[in-house]
C-alpha cells in the first residue's frame, strides 16, 4: 500500500487556483495544514482567493503559457521553502469543430493545457530530485482517455498530459518523486458551462475533484478518476470492439457531449478563455 503522507506544513503550489477546481483544491489543502501558493493569470483574483482561504495561503500571478512568468511564480513559492507538491491545474476548453478553430486558439490550448504542465514539471523537478522527494499532480480529464468531437484539440492536449504523466512517473520514481494524474468527467465549473453530462451521469462538483486530489496527495497513486466508478466503466468499455463502444457511446450521448452545448451559456467563458487559464 502506498505511504500515507501528512500535509501539515507542506508547501503546495497550484496553478489556475483562483476559481473552480483550483480554488476548491487550495481551500482543502489549506484546511489540511498546508501552506498554499495560489497561482492565477489575474493577480487580483489570486489575491482575493488567498484572502478568502485565509491562514497561510498566498496568491501570485502566473501565466503558465509563458515560461518566464511560470519561473517567477515558482521562484516566489520557493521563498517560502522547498516546494513539496505541484498541482498543474490550469487549463482552458474552448469548443468548436476543428475546421472552425483558429490557429491562435489551437496554440493557446496546447500552450496552457500541455506546455504549461511540461514547463511546471521542468521548473520543480530539479529541486525535488536533489531533495529525493516531491509530488507532481496533473489535472487531466476523462476526455484525456475518451476523445470527443468538437473538442479535438482539448482532447489531444489532455491525452498528451496523461502520456506525459506516465512517462514522468517512470522517469522520476527512481528519484523518490511521485507523479499522479487526475481525470474528472464533466465538472460544474465555468469551464464546462453549457456542457451537459451524458445519460446516467451528473456533473461533479469542484469540491469532489479537490477531495480526490487531496486523497492522492496523502496516498500517492498514478491514475484517479472522478467520480471513481467512471474508471471502471472506461476500462470495461475499452475491452469491447470499437463499433460496440461507438454504439454504446452514442446511446448515452457521450459522442455528442461537446457538440450539443448551450452556446449562450458558454459565451462568457469562451470570451474569457481567450485570455485566462483556469479550471
pLDDT digits (tens, 9 = 90+) for 114-137: 999 999 999 999 999 999 999 999
Q: Judge whether residue 279 has pLDDT over 70.
A: no
Q: Which of 136, 55, 145, 155 is nearest to 98 (CA)?
A: 155
Let me know: does 14 contact 38? Beta carbons within 8 Å. yes
What domains can be seen in the chain, in order of their start residue? 11-273 (3.40.50.720)
Q: In what order do the strands lie in the sheet with 85-88?
A: 58-61, 35-40, 11-14, 85-88, 134-139, 177-184, 223-226
Q: Which of 204, 199, 203, 201 is nearest to 248 (CA)?
A: 199
pLDDT digits (tens, 9 = 90+) for 153-177: 999 999 999 999 999 999 999 999 9
Q: Which of 206, 205, 227, 203 is nearest to 18 (CA)?
A: 206
Asked about 154 being catalytic, the answer comes back as: yes
DSSP 44-71: HHHHHHHHHH-TT-EEEE--TTSHHHHH
Choose the weakest-confidence range: 17-21, 145-149, 231-235, 243-247: 243-247
The pLDDT, as a whole number, for residue 94 is 86
Q: Judge whether residue 275 has pLDDT over 50.
A: no
Contacts of 249 (CB under 8 A, 6+ apart): 146, 237, 255
SS (H, E, C) 97-125: CHHHCCHHHHHHHHHHHHHHHHHHHHHHH
Between residues 187 and 146, the one the model is more confident about: 146
pLDDT digits (tens, 9 = 90+) for 46-65: 999 999 999 899 999 999 99
pLDDT digits (tens, 9 = 90+) for 59-114: 999 999 999 999 999 999 999 999 999 999 999 988 888 999 999 999 999 999 99
At 139 the three-state DSSP class reads strand
Share above pLDDT 70 across residues of the chain, in percent, rounded to a whole number: 76
User: How far is residue 32 CA from its own chain's centroid?
Assistant: 20
Torsion of CA 120, 125, 131, 135, to 10 degrees: 60
The pLDDT, as a whole number, for residue 273 is 59
Q: Judge whether residue 255 has pLDDT over 60.
A: no
Answer whether 0.75 is exceeded by the pTM.
Answer: yes
Choose the weakest-confidence range: 55-59, 235-239, 270-274: 270-274
The pLDDT, as a whole number, for residue 193 is 47
Q: Judge whether residue 26 has pLDDT over 70.
A: yes
Catalytic residue among 70, 154, 235, 269: 154
Let me know: does 111 contact 65? Beta carbons within 8 Å. yes
Backbone angles phi, psi at 251, to 5 degrees: -65, -35
pLDDT tier, 234 (very low <50, low <70, confident <90, very high otherwise) = low
The pLDDT, as a whole number, for residue 230 is 73
| Cα 55 to Cα 208: distance, rounded to the nearest angstrom | 22
Between residues 160 and 3, the one the model is more confident about: 160
| Cα 68 to Cα 14: distance, rounded to the nearest angstrom | 17
Amino acid at each position: 500500500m502506498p505511504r500515507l503522507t501528512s500535509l501539515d506544513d507542506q508547501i503546495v503550489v497550484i496553478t489556475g487556483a483562483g476559481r473552480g477546481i483550483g480554488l476548491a483544491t487550495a481551500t482543502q489543502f489549506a484546511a489540511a495544514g498546508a501552506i498554499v501558493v495560489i497561482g492565477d493569470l489575474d493577480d487580483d483574483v489570486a489575491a482575493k482567493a488567498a484572502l478568502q482561504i485565509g491562514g497561510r495561503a498566498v496568491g501570485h500571478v502566473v501565466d503558465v503559457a509563458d515560461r518566464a512568468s511560470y519561473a517567477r511564480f515558482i521562484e516566489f513559492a520557493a521563498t517560502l521553502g522547498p516546494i513539496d507538491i505541484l498541482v498543474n491545474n490550469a487549463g482552458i476548453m474552448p469548443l468548436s469543430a476543428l475546421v472552425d478553430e483558429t490557429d491562435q486558439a489551437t496554440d493557446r490550448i496546447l500552450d496552457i493545457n500541455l506546455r504549461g504542465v511540461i514547463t511546471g514539471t521542468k521548473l520543480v523537478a530539479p529541486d525535488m530530485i536533489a531533495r529525493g522527494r516531491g509530488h507532481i499532480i496533473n489535472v487531466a480529464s476523462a476526455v484525456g482517455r475518451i476523445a470527443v468531437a468538437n473538442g479535438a484539440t482539448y482532447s489531444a492536449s489532455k491525452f498528451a498530459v496523461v502520456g506525459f504523466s506516465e512517462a514522468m512517473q517512470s522517469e522520476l520514481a527512481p528519484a523518490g518523486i511521485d507523479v499522479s494524474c487526475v481525470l474528472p468527467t464533466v465538472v460544474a465549473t465555468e469551464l464546462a458551462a453549457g456542457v451537459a453530462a451524458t445519460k446516467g451521469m451528473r456533473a461533479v462538483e469542484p469540491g469532489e475533484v479537490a477531495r480526490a486530489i487531496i486523497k492522492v496527495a496523502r496516498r500517492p497513486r498514478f491514475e484517479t478518476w472522478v467520480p471513481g466508478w467512471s474508471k471502471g466503466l472506461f476500462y470495461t468499455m475499452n475491452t469491447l470492439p470499437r463499433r460496440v463502444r461507438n454504439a454504446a457511446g452514442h446511446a448515452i450521448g457521450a459522442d455528442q457531449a461537446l457538440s450539443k452545448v448551450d452556446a449562450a451559456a458558454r459565451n462568457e467563458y469562451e470570451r474569457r478563455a481567450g485570455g485566462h487559464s483556469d479550471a
